[in-house]
Structure 1
Amino acid sequence: MKIETDDLIIRNFDMADENDLCEYMLQRVAAEFESYPNFTPEKAKEEIVLRSKSDEFFAIEFKKTHKVIGNIYLGKRNFNTRELGFVLNVDYQNKGYGSIASKAVFDFAFKKGIHRIYAECAPQNIPSWKVMERVGLKREAHFEKNVSFHNDDKGNPIYWDTYVYAAINPNENDVNGKMNPSLSDDL
């Protein structure tokens, strides 16, 4: 897959992306939301091999510098559904790149016939759910205490709530044969 926007290229990972992947993944070691506490520079070698073979992880490349500044996850789920996720290098956050990349992948997936896309985040992770809303996902659920990213001092999991956002392909007909309303009207 290769998608281009004005500033970004969303594409498959390749082995040359290892250093950039390592840089932004090390920033996630102690992240408040969805941390990767066991990630090390040595694990970057394994991770780049996995991601370069994956059809679910895509590199977000900054066009001007050709630096990989993060990734988009489009995980395969049942019923022609995909789970959307994104991670950005902290130096590139709060600049709109998460929204741009997510929207580009979102539109690409719907053009390819994906039925539904959903994403999840903690209610406290305001930047993530703002991106979800910006790209046209609607909040469908609020699950209480259903995920854990950290443990307390005694090793017990600390549970977080989760918002679930989703959108149905606007190009599909509903059960009455009518087209679903365009998501672009909400942006």
Structure 2
Amino acid sequence: MRIETSRLIIRNFEEKDAAGLYEYLAAPPVNCFYSEKVNSYDEALKKVKEKQNGKDHGSCYAVCLCDTDFIIGEVFTMKEHPDTYSVGWNFNLNYGKKGYAAEAAKAVVNNLFENDARRIYAYAEDDNLPSQKLCERLGMRREGLFVEFISFVNNPDGTPHYENTYQYAILKREWTNR
């Protein structure tokens, strides 16, 4: 996939993305990306190669600034046959509050609907307000709250810390009519 917007390029990962990826995966801001944490440039390079080879159980794309081709985040999609997709995103907080995540997510959702998607959904933990707001800006409806749905990290005593997770979704006909 390669999508260009007025400010962004959404493309497959390249080895040169390791430095930028390291910037935002060295200290993931939300627990759901804790398993992606990298501790060095070499680990970031390995992670880029995994994303290139599809070892992340879906399709993952680098989101880069048009003028520099520097990676500022990523979007990912996973198809559930025949026509449903899960989408998500992770962005460098140093580039926050500029609308980049919304611009990238909108472009990817639009691309999926222009191809074979009928329904697209996303998860956002109940303490991840920026992702919840992004889902709402995309026109997604909040479909439900999964209480103690998943654990990404452990509590200080070693027991799993379960996250409450919202599910948002939008249908192709809703996207087209918005």
Shift of 1:182: 4.5
Match of 1:104 in 2: 107
Percent identity reads 33
Distance 1:144 1:5, change over 3 A: same
Unaligned runs of 5+ in 1: 171-180
Match of 1:116 in 2: 119
Q: Is the 8 A contact 2:79 2:86 kept in 1?
A: yes
TM-score by structure 2 length?
0.89
**Change over 3 Å in CA distance of 1:16–1:143 after alignment to 2:** same
Matched, 1:167 2:177: no
Distance 1:57 1:89 in 2: 15
Among candidates 119, 135, 142, match of residue 145 of structure 2:
142
- Cα distance, 1:36 vs. partner? 2.1
Q: Superposition RMSD on alpha carbons, in Å?
A: 1.7
The equivalent of 2:45 in structure 1 is 45
Paired residues, what number?
173
Aligned residue in 2 for 1:18: 18
Which among 105, 129, 154 is matched to residue 132 of structure 2?
A: 129
Residue in 1 that maps onto 2:3: 3
CA distance in 2, matches of 1:23, 1:107: 28
Q: CA deviation at 1:85?
A: 0.6
Contact kept? 1:33, 1:125, Cα under 8 Å:
no
How has the CA–CA distance of structure 1 residues 67 and 184 changed in structure 2, closer, same or farther, with 3 Å as cutoff? Answer: farther
* Aligned equivalents of 2:170, 2:30: Cα separation in 1: 26
Indicate if the aligned counterparts of 1:115 and 1:169 stay in contact, CA closer than 8 A. yes
Pick the structure with more helix per residue: 2
* Structure 2 residue 32 is the aligned partner of structure 1 residue 34: yes
Alignment of 1:71-110 (within 5 A): 71-110=74-113
Change (3 A) 1:184 1:125: farther
Asked if 1 retains the 8 angstrom alpha-carbon contact of 2:139 and 2:175, the reply is: no
Q: Sort the Cα spacing of 1:184 and 1:17 in 2 relative to 1 into closer, same or farther, 3 A.
A: farther
Bigger-Rg structure (1/2) = 1
C-alpha deviation, 1:32, in angstroms = 3.5
Instruction: State the distance in 2 between where 1:73 and 1:21 align.
Output: 14
Q: Distance in 2 between matches of 1:22 and 1:116?
A: 32
| Distance (whole Å) between structure 2 residues aligned to residue 86 and residue 150 of structure 1 | 19
| Range moving further from structure 2, 52-61 or 161-170 | 52-61
Unaligned runs of 5+ residues in structure 2 are none
Measured in 2, the distance between the counterparts of 1:20 and 1:144 equals 34
Q: Aligned letter for 2:117?
A: I
Deviations 1:84-142 (A, max 9, x none): 11011111112111111000000000001212111001122111010001012111111
